[in-house]
Amino acid sequence: MNKPTVVSGIRPTGYLHLGNYFGAVQNFLRMQENYNCYFFIADIHSLTTHPTPENLQSGVRQVLAEYLACGIDPEKSTIFIQSDVPEITELYTFLNMNAYLGELERTTSFKDKARQQPENVNAGLLTYPVLMAADIIIHKAHFVPVGKDQEQNLEMTRKFAKRFNRMYKSDVFPIPKPFTFDGADLVKVPGLDGSGKMGKSEGNAINLYDDPKDIRKKVMRAVTDAGPTEKNSEKPEPVQNLFNLMKIVSDPAVVQQFDEAYVKCEIRYGDMKKQLAEDIVSFTAPIRERIVEILADDAYLAKVAKMGSEKARESAVATLKEVKDLIGFRKLF
């Protein structure tokens, strides 16, 4: 029986952080045995923030090495760089013809970006969900493992795939679903600054590649409060975030111990942060070592990228042929 197909990507705009790992990569690792997996580096998407050529190149190398260091196996999964597969941008062009200004302007991520960077509201930002849809449906994906922040973009992908099928009276595209293991909710890893989610541009991230010293420093600076004054009181958001992070990286018994201390108003945030920092370091240190090793091996990185782009193109070329035929691009001579 054919394995279901999975597609997911990460922008190469820095280092992978714990949000990327627990929101996405952890699911990639769990899926690569039993699914037909395509994991890519979204270098075209990263152009919305105008990286220099040097930053673009080093970001792509870094994410490739980090994918491998985390345990994504290029023999089992197809690991590729988005710009190596030009069929994606061709499909993006076709999908753009049926994507409407109103729906694109209403996307939360577009509205957020337009607010954060009013001097750079480019057309690539507006059509970002269309390029994402092309990434996903070009391989006829059934599942997309992503974090909570990508939920709305995925909803747009589903809409564009359904619209194309309906318009051309076909079922060329399966309608892809967000994926988490065991049907759990999509993950949102909190940042250390007391609010929202961990993110590259938020400056609140712990990276897999961070030095243990830096990790300890970052965690010790995490925002908390003066501590509970009444027993069994509810946790304010920054404290709840710290607990949520601990639930992700630490042993359940450790979380329980600090939770009980909180309930009894005996919590010492300094101790909790020390424990959290050590648990993060023991998780990231071996990955960091492998990243360093892999980054030193250019020939291996080049081989993986070449193999991945060949496999990804094979599938992309086949889908694009069907799509062009459906649209009516038929040979006249």
Contact range with ligand TYM by CB under 6 A, out of 2-10, 84-92, 229-237, 269-277: 2-10
Q: How would DSSP label each residue in 59-73?
A: HHHHHHHHHHHHT--
Residue ranges with strand state E in 116-219: 143-145, 177-179
Size of the residue set binding ligand TYM (CB under 6 A): 27
- If you compute the radius of gyration of the chain from its CA atoms, what whole number of angstroms results? 21
Please count the CA atoms within 13 angstroms of the CA of 73 that sit on its side-chain side.
Answer: 10
Residue in 4, 14, 23, 74 binding ligand TYM, rule: CB under 6 A = 23
Q: Give the strands of the sheet with 177-179, arranged side by side.
A: 78-81, 36-41, 5-10, 143-145, 177-179
Residue 286 CB, shortest distance to ligand TYM, in Å, is: 21
> In the complex with ligand TYM, which residue's Cβ is closer, 9 or 74?
9
Binding-site string for ligand TYM from residue 176 to residue 205, where x marks contact by CB under 6 A and - marks none: -----------xxx-------xxx------
Window of 1-9, 54-62, 220-228, 306-314 that interacts with ligand TYM by CB under 6 A: 1-9
Q: For residue 136, state whether it binds ligand TYM (rule: CB under 6 A).
A: yes
Q: Catalytic: which of 76, 148, 159, 200? A: 200
Q: Which two tokens stand for residue 165?
A: 């099928």
Smallest distance, ligand TYM to C-beta of residue 105, A: 18
Tell which one of 68, 69, 146, 215 touches ligand TYM (CB under 6 A).
146
CA-wise closest residue to 9 among 112, 106, 147, 122: 147
Q: Among 144, 242, 291, 323, which residue interacts with ligand TYM (rule: CB under 6 A)?
A: 144
Q: For the chain, how many helices (H) and strands (E)? A: 14, 5
Among 5, 8, 77, 284, binds ligand TYM (CB under 6 A): 8
Tell which residue, 81, 51, 36, has the closest CA to residue 63. 81
Q: Are 4 and 143 in contact (CB under 8 A)?
A: yes
The first and second tokens of residue 32, run together, are 């690569």
Q: At what angle do helices 269-295 and 252-263 cross, to 10 degrees?
A: 150
Q: Does 142 bind ligand TYM (CB under 6 A)?
A: no
59 near ligand TYM, rule: CB under 6 A:
no
DSSP 238: H
**Which position's Cβ is nearest ligand TYM?**
23
Is 113 one of the annotated active-site residues of the chain? yes
CA distance 75 to 319: 22
Which residue number, 27 or 262, has a Cβ lying nearer to ligand TYM? 27
Residue 197 a catalytic site member? yes
Active site residues: 113, 197, 200
Contact residues toward ligand TYM (CB under 6 A) are 7-11, 19-20, 23-24, 42, 45, 132, 135-136, 144, 146-150, 153, 187-189, 197-199
